[in-house]
Amino acid sequence: MSRIVVAGLGAVSPAGWNVAALREALAKGEPLPVQSIERPGWQKLLRARVVPNPAVRPEFLAHPRLRRTSPVTHYAAAAALEATACLRTSPEVKRRVGLIVCLQAGCVQYTCRFFDETLKNPATASPLLFPETVYAAPGSHIAALLKDVTLVYSLVGDPSSFLQGVVLGAQWLEEKRADACLVIGAEELNWILADALRYFDRSAILTCGAGALCLCRESEIAAGVELAAITDAHTYSVRRNRNEAARNMRRQLEGGAAGELLCDGLGGSSRTDEAERAAWKDWSGSRLSPKRILGEGMMASAAWQCVAACDAVANGRSAAANISLVGSNQQAIGARFVRTGPSISHLSAGGDAGNIRT
């Protein structure tokens, strides 16, 4: 079996439009500022962390396919371009790219707009909006943007399914259906998501953005990080609750030595964090909890956890990193990335240890 390595990383978050901004925010360890969003019919505002406008309008937004797209596609496209920069360093080498876009809520902004128009008068509902409401839209646009994409899947699930996307990418590489695989987790926000989140976790602050991992088999473009393991998917059911699933996931991942990192999904809520906290109570290595800084970004949060973990390993801050994804309503899955070979500059150098707590 081939080894699967990380070739590039990409991120758009409330911290900014690249991995460096994500790294810097995590290094500071301070929760990012919170903005207010309006909810129709309410005086009270909802809280969220939004992605700041980029300093310069990204060139890719001029692409004909991206002109009318919603923010989730913008975020995913920016993360995709950053993660695949390594593939463009030698344009003469044509690589077949597999693309897997993972979403939980998906294109909620246009969906709500279109349904609102439908309820008012379906005869005038915009035909431009509807195609952008489907889960497959971001993947389709990114495939058109990157050009070398030969296969696209859009996966839907709770945030833990991001790691199923990584497994699928590894499978396509292993079966030589693609030369590189890009796995993206992305979300956008609107009032209805912030409203729904309040029913389950009043302390959570909704956020949005995207994270991307570019995977390949061993090659000269590898970035010094190797995928070592992904646990089984420990699905929740009437017979197995979230606590048990998280414990089973933890049992399948080794590690915990000094110099190793756990990138977890703790967000600061005693109720929603309980299962994950209990599962990892034995962990003695460093910890990084991106949600505490960035907020609850659903699939984007899962992707940021993986990006932050791989970044820490690639830049020599950790010898290995475990990722814990205890999903909201589907399953618990974990992964382990380890260091392989020397650090490579294209993942961008520097940065502190993030909000790593030892």
Q: Which of residues 189-218 bind another protein (CB under 8 A)?
A: 192, 195-196, 199-200
Give the C-alpha separation, 265 to 253, whole Å. 16
Q: How far is the CB of 308 from another protein (least distance, A)?
A: 20
Tell me the C-alpha distance between 353 and 358, whole Å: 10
219: tokens are 């090659």
Of the candidate residues 45, 89, 93, 156, the single one contacting another protein (CB under 8 A): 156
Q: Binding to another protein by residue 283, rule CB under 8 A?
A: no
- Tell me the torsion sign for CA atoms 201, 203, 204, 206: positive
139 contributes a contact to another protein by CB under 8 A: yes
Minimum CB distance to another protein, residue 134 (Å): 5
Regarding 236 and contact with another protein (CB under 8 A), the answer is: yes
Q: How far is the CB of 196 from another protein (least distance, A)?
A: 4
CB 167 within 8 A of CB 86: no
Among 25, 233, 302, 323, binds another protein (CB under 8 A): 233
The closest of 292, 287, 281 to 262, measured between CA atoms, is: 287
- Interacting positions 22-41 with another protein (CB under 8 A): 39-41
Q: What is the largest CA-CA distance in the chain?
A: 63
- Tokens representing 159? 């945030």
Instruction: Judge contact between 329 and 241, C-beta under 8 A.
Output: no
- Under the binding rule (CB under 8 A), the answer on residue 240 touching another protein is yes
Does the footprint of another protein cover residue 269 (CB under 8 A)? no
Residues forming a β-bridge with 206: 48, 296
Q: Does 61 bind another protein (CB under 8 A)?
A: no
Toward another protein, which CB reaches closer, 239 or 281? 239
How many positions of this chain bind another protein (CB under 8 A)? 80
Q: Is position 324 an interface residue for another protein (rule: CB under 8 A)?
A: no
Question: Does residue 178 bind another protein (CB under 8 A)?
Answer: no
Nearer CB in complex with another protein: 51/80: 80
Q: Determine, following the binding rule CB under 8 A, whether residue 229 of this chain makes contact with another protein.
A: yes
126 near another protein (CB under 8 A): yes
- Residues 308 and 133: their CA atoms lie apart, in Å, by 29
Secondary structure in 3-state letters for 138-174 = HHHHHHHHHCCEEEEEEEECCCCHHHHHHHHHHHHHH
Site for another protein contains 134 (CB under 8 A): yes
* 191 or 304: CB nearest another protein: 191
Q: Comparing C-alpha atoms, which of 229, 231, 265 is closest to residue 249?
A: 231
Contact flags string 69-98 toward another protein, x per CB under 8 A: ------------------------------
